[in-house]
Chain A
């Protein structure tokens, strides 16, 4: 291995990236755009759930209950209904997610020894939002109920459940999205960049020219990797700064560890990109395969949005070969949990293996294609 030749290949690659406006955009602008878009548009915090109210009681107590829904910040009353029959239409049309039904005898039933029944009809089609809405509604009703019964003189509940949330104390979804997002963006950028630039070299036949020079194939592959790793690290650094400054995400662990893990991840992802583009040899197929093989799995099988544990075993097995999965664990661990190598060793090792495998595969395929 000759460092001068390696550096020459890197410089050539860097020049090519710099001259190509689209590559520059892909490398430097797109990550920021994605981060801003995701960071601002996606919050999984469910607020302002639209509800309709069928208040048959029209009493001070029923108004107080509705008021406690509104003042919680989780619900917005969009409509008052007159008949139960209207509930069907309003839920089907999706204009409200929950219909709160307060019976005519609400005040009387509250005063009487038995319970007063309050009904909630939920649009269950979006199970996730419905579950969260139901939990909020139950908590509000329980709070109201406790206030009413305490006034009535009942004892407080004998168990106090003190719940604490760790790592993300305010349960802000942004805190979980930004670290995961860095992993997703990096896998997209890595695969797209390499798939595009290297497949182009195959298509134009300049790869053969490169192979005809005295440069060793290991130097070619590594020389091509270096600029992209540098770009990737730069992107991650920018994303981390934006995450900290703009979105206020905490960074509790070691920055150095994050840098090392990121390098490993990038080597693996870029190696995969080179492998795909060398195996496909056409830019179109390469980008399509890169997209299918990296973007969607990184989005859906990495634990970024959907938890991996509830998936069937076969998908859990597949997720083990998605490098983004390990990287998501690492970024969340370092950002939110502040854990170090003692916890992340397994994920780190997985990424080292991916990096070695990615580079090895790239060199192998490259060798075969040239020969």
Chain B
């Protein structure tokens, strides 16, 4: 790179920074909105099942039935939010969504329990199939333990198998520490796409791209000038939201910051390149925005953000391999929670590198051509 080139790129970068940071609304979108979004979505992305609203109809009202209800509440998974003697109230509570679980203990429960043949009716609202599966599992376990405790006294060990499950990396099984890093990945990608694609297309719309074209800037210099400021902004955002995740949401950072940073650089590169590609196929900002959306939405769905990739249909699993968001989320989650490094995550790094190289290559080929037209 000659000193002239360096000078031209520097001036272009300066101009871009000035454009990015001049408008207070754009400034807010760049620096304030990621923080607000992380705070909001960090709290929202919580799939822990605790304190599930539970409605109880206890026809028996004996010491035994109360002990069962106590066992249900003592677990911390269920809160009794309503009681009644009429089963119709239970139906109403579930219909209105005031309770997600209903427990009905029939009259004569204590008597039947002594004979070893008691029943309990449990109703779970299945509209949230995910929470319902978990809540159902918890309540069945509680009832089983209650029954075992009753059958063999305090010593439940007479049962055939003592099953001990231990969760590594996240012993309390909090969903937040897993989802907050994913929100970071989502925000960074959104930022890269928005700023790159719209910055180029805006100039095209305003006609200032023609001015740039007749300037001594080569297409490569123009491309660098457009993307470097966005890369800097994205990195600043990444550091800010990552610190917020660690300090505010107490997401453990077990791996090396360098491992996240390396992945972030590759990820941002691919985001910028996709942004450039979008700008090459869009004449107006509207078109750019729509195309961006068409990429962003499936990329988030197929990233494993909300739900594990291995449970997707096979064809979607293959598609996810082409998705940089997927690889970045795998890296950032594993580095944060498992303390993993390059040693275990090299396939993801490699995939990210390959994807970044391919889209960047495409952008380098297509961008000058789209400038010429």
Contact = CB atoms under 8 A, between A and B. Distances in A.
Interface in A120-164: 120-132, 134-139, 141-142, 144-146, 148-149, 152, 154-164
Nearest to A128: B47
Contact of A158 (B117, B124, B130, B175): B117
Interface in B101-159: 113, 116-134, 136-141, 143-144, 146-148, 150-151, 157-159
Q: Which of B129, B168, B287, B340 has the most CB of A within 10 A?
A: B129
Nearest to B124: A165
A287 B198 CA distance: 11
A37 B137 contact: no
B311 A43 contact: yes
A125 B122 contact: no
B95 A337 contact: yes
Given A118-B161, A123-B169, A158-B118, A34 B297 contact: yes
Interface in A303-361: 305-307, 309-312, 314-315, 318, 329, 332-333, 336-337, 339, 343
Interface stretch (A7-15, A172-180, A220-228, A255-263): A172-180
B73 interface: no
A131 B311 CA distance: 15
Given A41-B312, A42-B307, A166-B126, A283 B344 contact: no
Given A44-B307, A164-B124, A305-B306, A144 B286 contact: no
Interface residues of A, number: 109
A310 B122 contact: no
Given A22-B287, A159-B150, A315 B40 contact: yes
Given A159-B118, A305-B306, A124 B43 contact: no
Contacts of B202: 284
A156 B159 CA distance: 11
Contacts of A121: 165-166, 168
Interface stretch (A108-116, A205-213, A229-237, A238-246): A108-116
B306 A310 contact: no
A283 B286 contact: yes
* Chain A to chain B: the 4 pairs with minimum beta-carbon distance, closest first: A124-B167, A135-B137, A168-B126, A145-B160
B344 A306 contact: no
Given A41-B313, A167-B126, A176-B128, A301 B162 contact: no
B31 interface: no
A82 interface: no
Interface stretch (A47-55, A268-276, A362-370): A47-55
A48 B309 CA distance: 11
B129 A155 contact: no
Contacts of A43: 307, 311-312
B302 A41 contact: yes
